[in-house]
Amino acid sequence: MLCSTYCQGIARFCTGANAQFDTVPACETVCNSQTWPCGNPGDTTCNSLFCQIAHVALAGIGAAAAECPSAGPNSPTCR
């Protein structure tokens, strides 16, 4: 369920030059194959799916250029 939330959000808010995946199914494939722990809601700096989701949320409030790379699969922030 978290991968679906993550992928729907990143597809919605990280588009064009900020896109991290070509399609939602491509995102789901990557997300489901990762070994990201779920983490905790509010995580913003650890290697967790909740960290990726937090940065997707920040991208959604108008900070896409800054936050989409942090929300992506090769995040420099969520490691």
Q: What is the Cα–Cα distance from 61 to 46, expressed in whole angstroms? A: 21
Residue 39: domain span: 2-71
Looking at residue 8, its pLDDT comes to: 97
* Residue 76 belongs to a domain: no
**Rg (Cα) of the chain, in Å, rounded?**
11
* Residue 77 belongs to a domain: no
Looking at residue 36, its pLDDT comes to: 78
* Residue 18 belongs to a domain: yes
Looking at residue 9, its pLDDT comes to: 97
Please state the rounded mean pLDDT for residues 21-47: 90
Which string of b and e fits 30-44 if b means at least 16 CB within 10 Å? bbeeeebeebeeebe
* Residue 79 belongs to a domain: no
Give 28's pLDDT tier (boundaries 50, 70, 90): very high
* Residue 43 belongs to a domain: yes
- What pTM does this model have? 0.90
Task: Please give the mean pLDDT across all residues of the chain.
Answer: 93
* Residue 35 belongs to a domain: yes
The structural domain count of the chain equals 1
* Residue 62 belongs to a domain: yes
